Chain A
Amino acid sequence: QIQLVQSGPELKKPGESVKISCKASGYTFTDYAMHWVKQAPGKGLKWMGWINTYTGKPTYADDFKGRFVFSLEASASTANLQISNLKNEDTATYFCARGLKFGYWGQGVMVTVSS
């Protein structure tokens, strides 16, 4: 069955970096784009951008340009999200979601940024 399994929760200090992974299984990884969605505590969903899993080309929403990097380990069917110079407002759950429909979602990774 199709699954997106994300890495575990993270507790970081402001200014640090974090890398989140999203491992896909049950389908051909390069057949579907991978999107990233942010959900701040108690808030709604915010699209961050996506990565073309065939070419590796990332596309970022304006609010996520600069400190955010999407990358792939295609041989491991894994998409990654790296956030550098973490700020308190980066505290959120980060989801990966498959394809344009967002038809499958990872379980989410809670990133807490606190001094």
Chain B
Amino acid sequence: DIVLTQAPLSVSVTPGESASISCRSSKSLLSSKGITSLYWYLQRPGKSPQLLIYQMSNLASGVPDRFSSSGSETDFTLKISKVETEDVGVYYCGHRLEYPYTFGAGTKLELK
């Protein structure tokens, strides 16, 4: 199985500042079709996860452009600029390269 390792496990950010979350894959997530199969989700407290980023760098519909993602074949970074109250929750990376689809353990973002 592909292992996704997120860091840090938690981050505390002052509103208006930026935050970065890392996701490292045990295997290249570049598919034979040239698509990098890496996704980011936010799960707000008590809510369902929501899609933020698909295929490594594409912003999902309705997601503020304060969110961005980049990376290589195995190392990825989610950046949140100008953090707001609504950004609090747990961020998960996940892949769709092969079965089983797996997720990282999550990074909890809190406000200072």
Contact = CB atoms under 8 A, between A and B. Distances in A.
Given A47-B101, A47-B103, A108 B96 contact: no
A95 B50 CA distance: 12
Nearest to A61: B100
B49 A105 contact: yes
Contacts of A108: 48
Chain A, interface residues (CB within 8 Å), range: 20 to 34
Contacts of A63: 100
Nearest to B102: A47
B89 interface: no
A95 B49 CA distance: 9
A93 to B, nearest CB: 9
Contacts of A104: 51
A47 B96 CA distance: 10
Nearest to A104: B51
Contacts of B105: 44
A107 B43 CA distance: 11
A97 to B, nearest CB: 8
Given A37-B49, A105-B49, 10 more contacts: A47-B103, A61-B101, A62-B100, A95-B48, A97-B49, A100-B96, A101-B51, A102-B39, A102-B51, A105-B50
